[in-house]
Every structure is written in C-alpha cells, then in structure tokens.
Chain A
Amino acid sequence: MEKIDYRDEGRFCSGHVACAGCAEAISMRVILNAVGEDTVGVIVPSCTAVILGGYPMSSTKTSFIHGTLESAGAFASGVKRALRAQGRDDTTVLCLAGDGGTYDIGLQSLSSAAERNEDILYICFDNEGYMNTGGQKSSSTPHKAATGSTPLGKPTRKKNMIEILAAHRIPYIATTSPSHLSDMAAKVKKAKSIRGTKVIFVLIPCLPGWGVAENAAVKTARLGVEAGVFPLIEVEGGVKYSLTVDQKTRRIDDYLGEQKRYNHLSDEDRRELQEEVDDTWARLLARAEAGE
C-alpha cells in the first residue's frame, strides 16, 4: 500500500456534482492543489465543467473561464498572452478538457497551441467517450468498447494522442491515474515548473459510461495501469520516453471484467485485445530503453 504525503490547500470544495464515486473529483482535488493559488483556469464543456459548478456556485477557488468545446488550446493561449502583457508571466494557466475536447473537436486548436509551444498546462480527463452527452464514442474510445454510438463495440483502435503530441516536440507529456495520486501530484508539479506546452492525460473510468460499479472507479483505473492498458509514462521534448510503472503485472481480462462496456466480448476478442496491449507495451518499452 502506498503512503500518500498530501496536504490539501482547499482549492477544490465539497458540494460538487460529480456522480457519486467518480474518480474525477479526487483527481481534480489533487491537481488543483498541486497547481496552487496563482492560477487561472480554462474549462470546456465536459463532465469537468459540470463538476466545477453552475453560476453562481463554483467548486473551486480558482477562476475559470468556461470556453467552447473545440477551443481549449486557444482560450488558454489567450489567457496566457493577456497575463504576459500585464507582467504576470509566472501565473499558471491551467486548461481542463475531456477526451472529446482533446482528441476530436479540440485537436486543431490544441495542435496549434502546442506548435506555438504556448506556456500552458493542459489536463485531459480521459474517460474514453462523450460522457456529458450520455456516453457516445470519441476517438479515444478503445477498440471493441461499446458506447451509445458503437453499441456493437468500436471497430477501430484508440487514437494515439501521446504520439501525436510528441510529434509536436512539446517539452512535457505524461499520463497518470487516480489510482496513483502521488504520481499525479508529482507530474502536475513537474509540469508546472516547465515553460511551454505541457499535456497530462488522466484516466477516468466513467461509472455509467463504462458500466463500472460505484465503488470501483479507482480499482478499475489501477487494473488498467497494472494490465498495461493505460501505461503511466512521461515523454520529454517529444522524444525521451520513460515508464513510471515499468511492469505489466496482469492480463487484460482483469481490467475488462470490471466493465459492462466489454460484456459482449468473445474469447477471441479478448485475445485480440491482449495482443494489442502486448504490442503497444513492447514498443513503449523499446522506446524507453533506447532513451528516446
């Protein structure tokens, strides 16, 4: 069992409206806490926006602008430039978006911000679908997962956003999980200390969207990490890959078994998914070992 060294600064408040048991709430608490007080936030439509609260309430003490779904990278750029023009270049610009707002409709504005290496800290809460609109697929939805718009399972694989962003050669990309909160805090703090575009992906098992039990969100995330489905990594400068957890200790079945979105899988399907995970893991390991 991991001992967590954590002191909460009260940036995230109780009374938020996340689904009971959603691991995004605890992730937000840790992230807002790690980023600290001198921060301006950008949020785009997603579960996160709902969790932040409706006017006049807010579940955070940090100011956020609620931007448009496809514009997270551009809104964050605008905030950053305005702060810089006012001599506040050290204020952190924190941008929160879902996977739909990152992999799909917001890809263009994020790519542009990354290409300009805007000094922003971008967090993608990756629940692998459009959950705010009731659970449709996004291009982050994994192969064979059932969603509202892929009831028979998604026929294609999850888009590899890490490689897409790495190709932009931004200084820092990482993945983290609510099952590894110290890792989450450390990566956020590290990212905050770097100038330029930083992007961190947080795995968020969605209770209704994935068909996960109310008390199983963190456990599911942990199984995802341990099975190597969601490897915890860092990519520095777009080339230097490192694995935070360098062992894959389970088969994918343990992970799939927690989620109704995979109920329809045949043994053959499971074998295929295991092969995909093994292949991705091997490539990642080779990259990490090569030191780039």
Chain B
Amino acid sequence: MGSYLIRRILLMLLTLFGVSVLIFTLLRLVPGNIADILFDAAGMIDPVEKQKIIRELGLDQPLVVQYMQWISGLLRGDLGFSYISEKPTIDEIAPRIPITASLAAMALTLSVITGVPLGVISAVRQNTKLDYALRVFSLSGLSLPSFWLGLLILMGFVHWFGTIPIYDRNNTPLEQLAFMLVPAMAVGYRASALIMRLTRSSMLEVLRQDYIRTARSKGVSDTGVNYDHALRNAVVPVITIIGIEAAFLIGGLIVTETVFNIPGVARFLVEAIRMRDYPIVQNLVMFIAFSVVTINLLVDLAYSLIDPRIRITD
C-alpha cells in the first residue's frame, strides 16, 4: 500500500510536469502576448512603452528562463501577479474556486443520483417502453452540447418568467445553491447520460452472471437481486467513468459559466486566455490538473474498497 501510494504520487508529479510544459508551450504558440493585445485593442501606440511592458513582465527572456521562473515560483508558493488586474494571482483565483467547485460537485452529484438508478431501471426493464424512453433521454444527453442546453434553458426562463436567474454574490448560500441547480443540471446532463448508459450495460452484463442465478435460487427477491447483488457489482466500472467525467466536466463548466454568467474559475480561465494573462492561465490550469489527478487517485482507491479482488499490493 505504502509503495503503491508513492508510485502513484510520483506518477501524478510526472503528469503535472507534463501539463506544465504543455500549457506553457501552447500559450507561447498562440500568436500575441499581453503587450500585443494591449496595443492592438487599447489603442496604445508608443513602441518604447510596449518594449518596457515586455521587459517588465520578463517576456523578453528566453523561454527556458521564463519557464524556470514560473515553476520555481510555483514551488515556493509564489504564483506571481495577474497581468491585467496586477493583483496577486492567488487572490484572483482563490475566491472563484468555491463557486466552480460547488457547481462541479453539484453537477456530478446530480449526474450520479440520476444516472445510476435510471441505468438500473433501464436494465431491469430491458426492452420495455420505459427502457426505450430512458435510452432516448440518455442519447440526447450525449449528443446535446451543454452550451446549447444552457441556452435552451435560459430561453425557457425568458419565455416563461420573463427574466433569467442572475448570480449575485450577496445572496445567501442557500439562494446561491438554488441558483446553481439549473446550470448544474445543464452541465451534469452529459455525465448523467453517460453514467446511465454504462450502468445499464454493466447491469445487463452482471445480471447474466452465475452468482445472480445463485441468488435467485436462494429465494432472494427481485429487488434484492437487483440492488444487493447486481448493482454492487455493476457500479465497479461506473466508478471509473465518474473519475473520467470529473475531468470532462471542466469543459462543460467553461461554457456553462459563460452562458449563465457565473464568476467561477472556468469562465475566468477563458478570459485570461483571451488576454494572454500567462500567470493566471498557467497556474489555473495547474490547479485544475492537480484536482483531476487527485480525483482519479481517489477513484482508484475507492475501487479497491468496493471490490475485494482489487487489492492494492506493493
């Protein structure tokens, strides 16, 4: 167990290193830096001024030096300053994290508590009208982009209520939670659909197994067979998907935060990319990558808790 964890953590560090190189390189490959943007958009014209900005931000340094500066700062816990607001990066990112995290948690929770039971029902009622309806529902979830769904929901609000829900920092936590329910559903639909499909096929597979017949031969009821014997086995592969979906969720969040005008990190990331605000983009991407690999490690550990055959051995 101990050395397994050490190996996993080393692997995580390697992954994070890869991500850091990738995001650093990609950002430099995109044409233009903050100075170009300022001079193109804000109408500044003095080339001396431009050179001064570039020098101040260290953008004239060789790329390797820039990278080393970023990483050594990161390791010391110094994330630098936003090019735009000139505030410390950490102060820009930190307050936005809970907003996105709660949205993501809500979306994931919703998708699990709908996806798993509906998948079970779909499998148990295989080839009935209910099963077909649920499969259409899940196929829609996989084919509807979440921004499209978000826009539809907003249009619905405008149509029926004449207004759209607006995020307000001053709302009580409960009100904020209620507000987030709708965007969470828009993001979670895809994951819910995927979890449902996987639960269904996994259940169908498990229900064919010998031990299910054994359970029936003992006089276990249908409910007992489906939930106590089958579902327990069927969720094992579903858990993996939940881990992977957690990563995919980020993509959905970016659009959804934009559509619903939620001041979370996902939308902030897009703005920062547009402005070539390197410290924000780089550190935020690292934070997201860190969350994703951590979730995946937790998922793998959860795996071995549920399935006694998967024993983490050194």
Partners in one complex: no
